[in-house]
Amino acid sequence: MPPDGAPAPDDGALPVASLTEVAGRPFGAYVHVPYCAARCGYCDFNTYTAADLGGALISSVGLTTFVDIAVQEIRLARGLLPTDTPALSTVFVGGGTPTLLPANDLARVLRTLAAEFGLAPDVEVTTEANPESVDPAQLEQLRAAGFTRISFGMQSDRPHVLAALDRRHTPGRVSEVMRWARKAGFDQVSLDLIYGAPGESEADWEASLRAAVALGPDHVSAYALTVEEGTKLSRRVRRGELLEPDDDLLADRYLLADDLLGAAGLTNYEISNWAREPAARCRHNLGYWHGDNWWGFGPGAHSHVGGVRWWNVRHPAEYAARLGADRSPALAREELDEDTRRVERVMLRVRLADGLDVGELDDAGRAASGELVDSGLVEAGGLEHGRIRLTRRGRLLTDTVVRALLPT
Amino acid sequence: MSAAPHLAPGADPSMIRNFCIIAHIDHGKSTLADRMLGVTGVVEARNMRAQYLDKMDIERERGITIKAQSVRLPWQADDGGDYILHLIDTPGHVDFSYEVSRSLAACEGAVLLVDAAQGIEAQTLANLYLAIENDLTIIPVLNKIDLPAAQPEKYAEEIASIIGCDPDDVLRVSGKTGQGVPELLNEIVRKVPAPVGDPDGPARAMIFDSVYDIYRGVITYVRVIDGTLTTRDRCLMMSTGASHETLEVGVISPDPHPTGSLSVGEVGYVIPGVKDVRQARVGDTITTSRRPAVEALGGYRDPLPMVYSGLYPIDGSEYPALREALDKLQLNDAALTYEPETSAALGFGFRCGFLGLLHLEIVRERLEREFNLTLISTAPNVVYRVVMEDGSELTVTNPSDWPGGKIAEVHEPMVEAMLLLPTEFVGAVMELCQGRRGVLGGMDYLSSDRVELKYALPLGEIIFDFFDSLKSRTRGYASLDYEPAGEQLADLVKVDILLQGETVDAFSAIVHREKAYSYGVSMTTKLRELIPRQQFEVPIQAAIGARIIARENIRAIRKDVLAKCYGGDITRKRKLLEKQKEGKKRMKTIGRVEVPQEAFIAALSTDTGKATPGK
């Protein structure tokens, strides 16, 4: 469900104060492709199958016209942002399943972004991809079109775990698509893993981790399975068919992941993310945690520009209708005051291995940080240098840490 | 409006009949009373609303009478005489047995009303015995004879065997259709003695109810025994010796009607110009300061709280509002006592004394409903007399007052309980009573399939979900009544519940030594489930003094982080944080342990249940 917010103006115009902040910071683009061949039982992302959209993805709100409409939003954004908006330093295409779109379409989105905003020389351009929906030619085309990074939804190496997650690829498929990606020239390949699925044992998880590192990824994201409201998974948990993943067990799985990924040379740089080297970190996601500016294109996408957050209407049909009528697709937005922005900075930056500058804390928060060191959640060494850095235990108890650092 | 003849002052006592109706809840007392108002013409049909006499919302909703009411009815009997009937509606609950006794003392007769489909119930029987003790003439009546399930023959037999009459003497009425109601009124005229008193003596009137009205101050409902009360004389309350101006005297039929005076045998109201019901208490005698009576009428006593409980506002900022609300309720409730109390777990509240559990529940409900407060109540506590080894003695109404020194003896209040139930449940009920340390005092068959059990039980055992257990063991067929019956020596201990070594005052309880362990286990288990995991391991212990009798652990929390970023939906993340922080504000800190208020509420409310005998 989208959060509550104030209504966004019909033309999408942003407050002047927020626009003045655009020039000074990295600028990114997120493109949300809201289609999947089938919905996975755990997923609550804003995505639609052919059945959801009335029988065919090839309708006026479906796959074939998606890029036409997204291009309209890109042009709208160009008109609303100031002329001194920096060239894009990151582009991230997520979903949904972006690779359900033909490579041409994804290439056209990138071309449009480049034409309207320009791309920084070192631009990072990522697309998510499901192993079952890519082929070698498509990967070649994407690379040729300027995509620099690909993130595969591997999730697990165990067939019964993939089945529990409703994932349709076979374990061996990931190593195949990874080979294709390398061959196509992708220097940056990331693998997504999920732990804590129903029926996944400790040994299953270890096997998945070992299989993942054996493929030599540059980057790994590992997420605990979260039971989200409104998903098939949550209904099954409520009916008692499945047990909700136990937090203690998830903690063990997390530590195992950190051990094995670390041993394979992947260093944790954000709670759920590990990279082979600093340059392999996902700069686009770092932008979220640094409070940078980005425009989220597509149905349900979230954006942030200079302290204004907004989110688009969720349904592709409504999204298309708004843009078709020359209206902004923004459903609602919030203009953050200075204190709320500080709260967000604390909440987001503390997740990063580089840590949070204690200057962001008020007196009570600073006092609490000492106690957090005593209770082993924050590194003593970091605090001596004016930074709040989480220990491994602290990473697992980030909510506790954030509440303690923001006592008022 | 010119006064109808029956409202004129100075009625002839020989033409007056004063009666009450004794009935179990749901047996149709209010419907019958409404019907009497209708056939005597004091309420026209079009103005009729159900349960005319029950005036409080809670009374109408629950179908119980908390405050007594009375109404004057004109009735031309079948002997041709124009009579004045006073129907005095009595409170229908064990907690208010003193009020019941005063209402009965205002009457010469009682209609024993029994549902023809259900038979007599314990509460009815208890009040019937009270009426017989007060020498009232009993008129047995079966109600609801229109019901298909009615068994008038069977229950007429039962009633006849209880009061020793002929089954044919049991009248049959239907409050619903009105069938038999005129015949009942004629029977009342025939059987119930006319009031007798000294018309020329000093005035003496007994207060059988006293209510506070925001416009008029206290209104007392009285029965005149001797002499005449008039607005010309100042009235004098014999228990306090205070005199007050007599602002108004009148009768109720069914609306108040000033008559200027009330004479021998009459029932009506007196407004003495006081602001607090404690200045005009139920049971007190009103006389006049011009010509005071020498001797008060018998039977007055101060109301004594039997059950104590802490009442706390869930939102601490409502504390002043709670104080104000209690001040207001006390104007109308002479039995309610309260004093400020502080709890580490629950904050600021009041230690309140009640006549019983229903009284507690009614007060709490009125506070919540009429004053918009949200409250939590601690486990109810009875009054213990504790004798120390050094011979000193103290009264304990709160576990926190339990002495730490050497205790020689503990005395606990006892009740004589009367239980009526179908014979098939005797085993289950005896087991329940024995489990509550009851001692069987007698067993009587009211009929071939219904039994009356008498038990001596500690009051403290009854106020803990006894009634709910009784109802569930008998599928709702048992009824219960009890009255205070002295005290007994008991092996009682205080069980404390400790979180990380800190006592949580709200959960301390005084229990029998043999029950200490099970109380300890049930509370520690419950709290382990209710208290969220903390950064460190939290032991939950139950202890008698320094001795630990039960222990549970809340393991330290290891993971609370939400891994996902939700595609840049930072707002969702921040709102989650705000919600967590909001939740943290409602946490109470016991030692270092943060406990959500909901945990206290859940632990307290599941434990006490809603034990309300008579319901």
Q: Which of B537, B557, B570 to mutate to test the interface with A (most CBs of A within 10 A)?
A: B570
Answer yes or no: do A347 and B580 touch at CB < 8 A: no
Instruction: Report pLDDT for B57.
Output: 56
Chain A: closest CA distance from residue B587 (Å): 13
Instruction: Report pLDDT for A300.
Output: 94
Q: Which residues of B touch A288 (CB under 8 A)?
A: 565, 568, 570
Find the mean pLDDT for residues A2-31: 92
Interface of A with B (CB under 8 A): 3, 5, 30, 32, 45, 94, 222-224, 226, 247-248, 250-251, 254, 271-272, 285, 288, 294, 296, 301-304, 309, 311, 334, 340, 343-344, 347-348, 375, 377, 393, 395-400, 402-403, 406
Q: Which residues of A touch B567 (CB under 8 A)?
A: 30, 32, 45, 94, 296, 301-302
DSSP string, B267-331: EEEEE-S-S-GGGS-TT-EEEESSS--SSPPS--------EEEEEEESSGGGHHHHHHHHHHHHH
Could you say which residues from 577 to 596 on chain B have a Cβ atom under 8 Å away from some Cβ of chain A?
Answer: 577, 580-581, 584
Q: Is the pLDDT of residue A90 over 90?
A: yes
Q: Which residues of B touch A302 (CB under 8 A)?
A: 567-571
Highest-confidence range of A89-93, A161-165, B236-240, B517-521, by mean pLDDT?
A: A89-93
Instruction: Report pLDDT for B436.
Output: 93
Task: Confirm if B369 and B61 have CB atoms less than 8 A apart.
Answer: no
**Cα–Cα dist A293/A139, whole Å:** 29
For A198-220, what is each residue's pLDDT tens digit? 999 999 999 999 999 999 999 99
Task: Confirm if B236 and B243 have CB atoms less than 8 A apart.
Answer: yes
Instruction: Report pLDDT for A295.
Output: 98
The widest CA-to-CA distance across chain A, in whole angstroms, is 60
Q: What is the percentage of chain A residues whose pLDDT exceeds 90? A: 80
Q: Which residues of B touch A343 (CB under 8 A)?
A: 574, 577
**Cα–Cα dist B266/B18, whole Å:** 8
Which residues 6+ apart lie within 8 Å of B204 measured at CB?
A: B224, B225, B226, B227, B285, B286, B287, B293, B296, B297
Q: Is the pLDDT of residue B612 over 90?
A: no
- What three-state secondary structure class fits A142? helix
Q: What is the mean pLDDT of chain A?
A: 93
Query: pTM (2 decimals)?
Result: 0.69
Task: Confirm if B502 and B590 have CB atoms less than 8 A apart.
Answer: yes
At B569, list the tokens: 């939906």
Q: Which residues of A touch B584 (CB under 8 A)?
A: 403
Task: Confirm if B529 and B503 have CB atoms less than 8 A apart.
Answer: no
Distances (CA, A) of A37 to A162, A177, A299, B492: 16, 18, 17, 69
Q: Is the pLDDT of residue B379 over 60?
A: yes
- Which secondary-structure segment (H or E) carries B81? none
Pick the residue from chain B with its C-alpha nearest to A291: B570
For A285-335, what is each residue's pLDDT tens digit? 999 999 999 999 999 999 999 999 999 999 999 999 999 999 999 999 999
Q: What is the percentage of chain B residues whose pLDDT exceeds 90? A: 53
Nearest CB partner across the interface for B559, out of A251, A285, A403: A251
For B432-484, what is each residue's pLDDT tens digit? 999 999 999 999 998 888 899 999 999 999 887 788 888 888 887 788 888 88
Alpha helices in B345-456 (DSSP H): 357-370, 426-435
Chain B: closest CA distance from residue A266 (Å): 18
Q: Phi, psi at residue B73, to the nearest 5°?
A: -120, 125
ipTM score for this prediction: 0.89
For A144-197, what is each residue's pLDDT tens digit? 999 999 999 999 999 999 999 998 888 889 999 999 999 999 999 999 999 999
